[in-house]
Amino acid sequence: MGPTRRGEGFRLAFERLSDRFARVASIDHPHPFRPVSDGRPAAVMILCALREDSSPHAEDDFEILITRRTERLETHKGQYALPGGSVDAEDGPPGSEMSLVTAALRETEEEVGIRSERIRPFGVLPPIWTPTGFLVTPVLGLLDTPLEKAVVIPSEEEIDLWFWCRMSRLRSQEIYSVESREISLGGETIRVPVDVFQIDAHRVWGATGAILKNFIGRWEKLG
């Protein structure tokens, strides 16, 4: 296959996935069994990318960027995460979707070096509260160039490891399990389910696990 046809194949796959992502973001599919509480606004990017040889007909033939936070950070140190962080005043009107998308794009560029203009956002998914006092809103985004051309430059202060994980693997029951954990909420101790993805040596859980599980649930709900 020549370069021109290969490029056309990527573009067709990109447009088809873009259409599906727009529908995924619009589905009513809340986090099950998760407590809802106020918290400091934060946004993370579910950053997806297609490989150059991706088939337009393989619906889950894309990958998601997962990072691990350094031990030097104040919160969630050493945990696996999605690129993101707190929403700042300059990101836009407080509580608006624009401010959340802007924050997720800005933090992604700061943490992993992928420029905002290279990412097409498709909207936000339900926010999730964390016991550390954040209300985290996921933004769904798709890289507009092939994954092979994505240059990831991790922030030495914030990121000590990163990898891409294929969506088809995340959907596998072989790496997924549900555990439980006690948390304090409103002066009471409650037990909540915890979504866990064991990806090789990487244990992805907590808010990140819940966000990925919600995204997968939306994806599969489309049929």
pLDDT digits (tens, 9 = 90+) for 125-149: 999 988 888 999 999 999 999 999 9
Q: What is the mean pLDDT of residues 24-34?
A: 87
Tell me, what's the pLDDT at 147? 95
Confidence of residue 1 (pLDDT cuts 50, 70, 90): very low
Tell me, what's the pLDDT at 170? 96
In a domain, 182, yes or no: no
Number of structural domains, the chain? 1
Q: What is the mean pLDDT of residues 180-201?
A: 86
Tell me, what's the pLDDT at 137? 96
pLDDT at 58 over 90: no
The string of DSSP codes covering the chain is: --HHHHHHHHHHHHHHHHHHHHHHHHS--PPTT------EEEEEEEEEE--TT--TT-TT--EEEEEEE-TTSSSSTT-EE-SEEEPPGGGSSTT-HHHHHHHHHHHHHHHH---GGGEEEEEE---EE-TTSEEEEEEEEEESS-GGG------TTTEEEEEEEEHHHHT-TTSEEEEEEEEEETTEEEEEEEEEEEETTEEE-HHHHHHHHHHHHHHHHT-
Task: Determine if the pTM surpasses 0.75.
Answer: yes
In a domain, 93, yes or no: yes
Residue span of the structural domain in which 117 resides: 3-173+205-221
In a domain, 27, yes or no: yes
In a domain, 187, yes or no: no
Of the listed ranges 2-16, 18-32, 145-159, 167-181, the one predicted with least confidence? 2-16
In a domain, 189, yes or no: no
